Amino acid sequence: MTVSLPSEWVKQNNINPGDLLFILPEKDGALRIMPSQIAQKEEAEEYIVNADACDEQGMLERIVVGSYILGRDVIRVTSSKRIEKAHVDEIRRIIRKLIGLGILEETPRNILLQCSVDPTKFKLDMLVRRLSLIASTILSEAMQALLENNVSLANEAVKREDEADTIYYLAVRLLLSAQMKPDIAEQIGATDVLFIPATRLILQYLELIADYSEDMAKKIIELETYRDRVAEDFVEKIFRLGELAQTIFQKAVDCVFAHDIKVANGILEMHNVLEIEADRLMREAPEIPYLRAIISCLNKIADIGATIADISINRALEKLGKDIENVVRSVKHVRTLPLTSRTKT
């Protein structure tokens, strides 16, 4: 059998008789034809970053992160004179957060970074759950530190946020690679093309929860100076609010994988309860620094959990298809957790 190639495409890609072409099978049964120079370029391309142009603090670090997320395996940082110590420090600091990325070669004017991440070693749902667990742990430690006035525990929560960044960067890298390469999508379990954008959003939300939790831990450390002016019963109310916020986003993530509309509906009802309680605590909070900021962070975390619950409902509707009518008829509100009762952590 033969395949006729469009003449315009042949001219644009400078293809001559006898040239090598690559035919790649797609998951949907289609075939993708690629000129050899493009196929080889995809395999290994060195990306150059001009350190001299990175004249603002943090700029080089963010470019390295962005290149890593975009799936670039070979990154060379160069300078016309000598790479500044501040830039070297930025590179060394950020590669600790980027799984698989290391310094392969270093000279005064060049730093060669290479990534050796093997996508077959990771599953996307595992990374989402891992990021959820890290965010939950940071939140739990921050709330426990508030309840016990434990600055050491709050500091541990702050340090743990780096781990959340590491998982987030890796997961987004793999997700973007999956969008461009069907074989990687198959390997990491991202075969639902329609759900890939939602997964990216969920990862971003979970990383944001980790950021809010870290921010609360920092505020709890600063709150130590004023801690004796805060009534214990008010601290317990904030702690219980934190428990409910944690329950909301944890169950929401579970629903993403379980496709359980009933539970997701109950989560949204829990969120309504939390909003009312958070508003009441904001009004009752004494004029002490950081207290209202902590309550506001918990409210934002619950908002994120509710949004993830909405996403899980949409995914469940997609999965259920025609069966949704029976599910809707049977949906009942899930009992919300009362704020007056405490659960052990």
User: What is the tens place of the pLDDT at every residue in 107-143?
Assistant: 999 999 999 888 888 999 999 999 999 999 999 999 9
Where residue 42 falls among pLDDT bands split at 50, 70, 90?
low
Residues 150 and 255 reside in one and the same domain: yes
Residue 316 in any domain: the answer is: yes
Q: 72, 84 in Cβ contact below 8 A?
A: no
CA-nearest of 44, 3, 7, 8 to 22 is 3
- The set of residues, in sequence order, having a beta carbon less than 8 Å from that of 314 and lying 6+ positions away, is 198
In a domain, residue 171? The reply is yes
- The mean of the pLDDT values for the chain is 88
61 and 163 co-located in one domain: no
Q: What is the pLDDT of residue 256?
A: 92
Torsion, Cα of 157, 162, 167, 171 (10° steps): 130
Q: Which of 115, 149, 176 is the last residue of a domain?
A: 115
Q: Are residues 202 and 148 in the same domain?
A: yes
> Apex CA 67: angle with CA 66 and CA 69, to 5°?
65
The better pLDDT of the pair 171, 30 is held by 171
**CATH code for the domain in which residue 259 is found:** 1.20.58.220
Distance between CA atoms of residues 295 and 308, nearest Å: 20
Q: Would you say residue 328 has pLDDT above 70?
A: no
Per residue in 74-112, pLDDT (tens digit) is: 999 999 999 999 999 999 999 999 999 999 999 999 999
308 neighbors 251 (Cβ within 8 angstroms): no
- 65: its two tokens: 């992160």
In angstroms, the CA 5 to CA 12 distance is 12
Rounded to whole angstroms, the Cα distance separating 81 from 257 reads: 52
The better pLDDT of the pair 345, 221 is held by 221
* Long-range contacts from 102-110, C-beta under 8 angstroms, 24+ separation: 108/82, 108/83, 109/78, 109/79, 109/80, 109/81, 109/82, 109/83, 110/76, 110/77, 110/78, 110/79, 110/83
Compute CA distances 345 → 53, 140, 147, whole Å.
49, 8, 12
Q: Are residues 234 and 128 in the same domain?
A: yes
Indicate whether 20 belongs to any domain: no
Domain assignment present for 13: no
Of the pLDDT bands very low, low, confident and very high (cuts 50, 70, 90), residue 181 is: confident
Q: Give burial (CB, 10 Å; 0-12/13-18/19+) of 99.
A: middle
The separation between CA 117 and the C-alpha centre of its own chain, rounded to angstroms, equals: 18
Which CATH number covers residue 106?
Answer: 3.30.110.60
Count of domains in the chain? 2
Examine the domain organization and report whether 56 and 186 are in the same domain. Answer: no
Can you give the residue range of the structural domain that contains 164? 120-330
What pLDDT band is residue 345 in, cutting at 50, 70 and 90?
Answer: very low
End-to-end CA distance of the chain: 66
Q: Pick the range with the lowest mean pLDDT from 99-103, 187-191, 198-202.
A: 187-191
Q: Answer yes or no: do 86 and 148 share one domain.
A: no
Token pair listed for 81: 């004179």
Q: Which of 71, 98, 115 is the last residue of a domain?
A: 115
User: Tell me, what's the pLDDT at 340?
Assistant: 42
Q: Is the pLDDT of residue 344 over 70?
A: no
Q: Note whether residue 6 is domain-resident.
A: no
Are residues 154 and 283 located together in one domain of the fold? yes
Percent of the chain with pLDDT over 70: 89
Structure confidence at residue 17 as a pLDDT band (50, 70, 90)? confident
Beta-bridge partner residues of 49? 77
Domain edge (last residue) among 73, 91, 115: 115
Do 284 and 234 have their domain in common? yes
For the stretch 266-295, pLDDT in tens is 999 999 999 999 999 999 999 999 999 999
Together in a domain, 106 and 170: no
pLDDT at 342: 41
**Has residue 172 been placed in a domain?**
yes
- Is 215 a member of any domain? yes
Residue 256 lies in a domain: yes
Question: Which residues on neighbouring strands pair with residue 113, listed in sequence order?
Answer: 75, 103
* Residue 40 structure tokens: 């080889």
Angle between helix axes 232-258 and 196-223 (nearest 10 degrees) is: 170
Q: What type of residue sits at position 14? A: N
Within this chain, do residues 126 and 230 fall inside the same structural domain, yes or no? Answer: yes
Taken as a whole, the chain contains a residue count of 345
Angle at 168 between CA 264 and CA 131, to 5 degrees: 45
The amino acid at residue 161 is E
Do residue 110 and residue 93 come from a single domain?
Answer: yes
pLDDT tens digits for range 46-72: 899 999 999 999 999 999 999 999 999
**166 and 62 both lie in a single domain:** no
